[in-house]
Structure 1
Amino acid sequence: MPRQRDTAPTDQTRLLVAVGTDKHPFDRLVDWLTQWHAHAAGSVGLTVQHGHTTAPELPGAVPFLGHDALQQEMADADLVVCHGGPATILEARRHGHLPIVVPRDPGRGEHVDDHQQLFARRLGDAGLVALCETREQLHDALAAGLVDASRYAVAADPGAHEARRLAVARVGQIVDDLVARAAARPPRWPARTRPDRREGRR
């Protein structure tokens, strides 16, 4: 059961980073995090769910978390950084987080299309996520979170968020299914135009 965010100061900020289960690696986010962590290691308790990305040399790095384990990590975290997956974002908000979101970029081989970017930008415009599309934006957001984690806290209200969570998760699944089917189909080439019979006549 989600709980209200505990924003009381502690000696260590608990940070969860989740890249989801997509088969594409997300080296960019993990690299940005590694660079930041080198200067903040003393004050951060880290869990990094890195998926199919090469395991980083960071404490708390795990490839995947089961559903219950992920829920517990979200409940215990002070800050959540995640990819632009609809279900992950809504789960983070359900647990009282304003998630710091780095959407996957298909131009970098991180996904098959740009639906994470479009979704995250829309939520960012609405103030429902802290959108970070550059290394500097992510590092600034994390630095601000270390100073005051309450900047990235929202009211945890499972009743109000549950219907929206299910709807967005369903939309995300439909999009993923459509993209997967499109990727599995052979390319459709336009029909070869019939050569002009007069071609070659002089």
Structure 2
Amino acid sequence: MPRQRGSGDLARARLLVAVGTDKHPFERLVGWLEEWHRAVADDVGPTVQHGHTRAPAMPGAVAFLGHDDLQSAMAEADLVVCHGGPATILEARRHGHLPIVVPRDPARGEHVDDHQLLFARRLGAAGMVALTETREALFDALTAGLADPSRYAVAADPQASEARRAAVERVGRVVEELVAASVGRRQRARWRPWARSGRNGERR
């Protein structure tokens, strides 16, 4: 469970940011974090796993974290910000965090498809993540979490390995269904039967 800080505690809040290992850069999130951190640098001790995105101009930047290091960082963090990767979200919740999630957007070149958007929105509607799709929403969540980290805490269950594996499998199925549905919608939108007919209804 993340540590709880009283109003008089002057210790710096520990922030973990994890963008995952996808080959696409996530410049949007890194840029937002740099901007936010400039205003609160004295109050926050960040660890930013930036993956294939450029290293942010802030302390604690690291391209990748091994499994054990990531587990330690999550266990020690007051707040967790992450992309919309199912495994990262599940790990954050297992360590007692309600993750602040910024899903990757394929329209911005941040991923190959929109499964993170679809998945994160579903979890956000269920109250399982704090969904932040805009700069303003992210800043508001971080500011609220800095003032009171308990707002982004859930019951931790570090021993639930079997339950976690089952959850990952369920998540995988949900993601596959969401992506399949999204692809189907795009294909139907691209198909225009009248575009394949001549003026008299004859097929071209």
* TM-score interval, smaller chain: 0.7 to 0.9
1:167, CA displacement in angstroms?
3.5
Q: Is the 8 A contact 1:145 1:152 kept in 2?
A: yes
What RMSD, in angstroms, separates the aligned Cα atoms of the two structures?
Answer: 2.0
SS of the residue 2:46 aligns to: strand
Q: What is the letter of the counterpart of residue 166 of structure 1?
A: R
**Residue in 2 that maps onto 1:166:** 165
Give the letter aligned to residue 169 of structure 1. Answer: V
Write the deviation string for residues 131-152 of structure 1: whole angstroms up to 9, x where unpaired.
0000000000000011100000
* SS of residue in 1 equivalent to 2:45: strand
**Does the 8 Å CA contact 2:119/2:175 hold for their aligned counterparts?**
no
Structure 1 residue 173: Cα displacement: 9.5
Of 5, 8, 14, which residue of structure 2 is paired with 1:8?
A: 5
> Given that residues 16 and 73 in structure 2 are in contact (C-alpha distance below 8 angstroms), is that contact kept between their aligned partners in structure 1?
yes
Distance 2:173 2:61 in 1: 26
Shift of 1:57: 1.2
Cα distance in 2, alignment partners of residues 116 and 167 from structure 1:
20
- Structure-to-structure mapping, 1:109-124, within 5 angstroms: 109-124=109-124
The aligned amino acid for 2:4 is: T
Name the SS of the counterpart of 2:42 in structure 1: helix
* 1:181-200: CA deviation from partner (whole Å, max 9, x where unpaired): xxxxxxxxxxxxxxxxxxxx
* 2:151 alignment counterpart: 151
% identical aligned pairs: 71
**Counterparts in 2 of 1:168 and 1:28: CA distance versus 1, 3 Å:** farther
Is 1:22 equivalent to 2:22 in the alignment? yes
2:17 maps to a residue whose letter is V
How far is the alpha carbon of 1:158 from its aligned partner?
3.1
Note the alpha carbon deviations across 1:73-122, whole angstroms, 9 max, x for none: 00000000000000000000000000000000000000010000111001
Partner of 1:195: none
Partners of 1:156 and 1:104 lie apart in 2 by: 26
State the TM-score, normalizing by the size of structure 2. 0.80
Cα distance in structure 2, aligned partners of 1:137 and 1:106: 20
Deviation at 1:165? 2.9
Aligned length, in residue pairs = 174
Larger radius of gyration: 1
Equivalent runs, 1:119-130 vs 2, <5 Å: 119-130=119-130
Matched residue, 1:87 = 87
Structure 1 residues 146 and 75, CA gap change in structure 2 (3 angstroms) = same
User: SS at 1:42's partner residue?
Assistant: coil
Amino acid at match of 2:80: V
Corresponding position of 1:63: 63
What are structure 2's unaligned runs of at least 5 residues? 180-204
Q: Secondary structure at the match of 1:80?
A: strand
Question: Counterpart in 2 of 1:75?
Answer: 75
Contact kept? 1:46, 1:60, Cα under 8 Å:
yes
Q: TM-score, normalised by structure 1?
A: 0.80
Counterpart CA distance in 1 for 2:107 and 2:166 is 28
Alignment partners' CA distance in 1, 2:143 and 2:79: 11
Aligned pairs for 1:35-54 within 5 A:
35-54=35-54
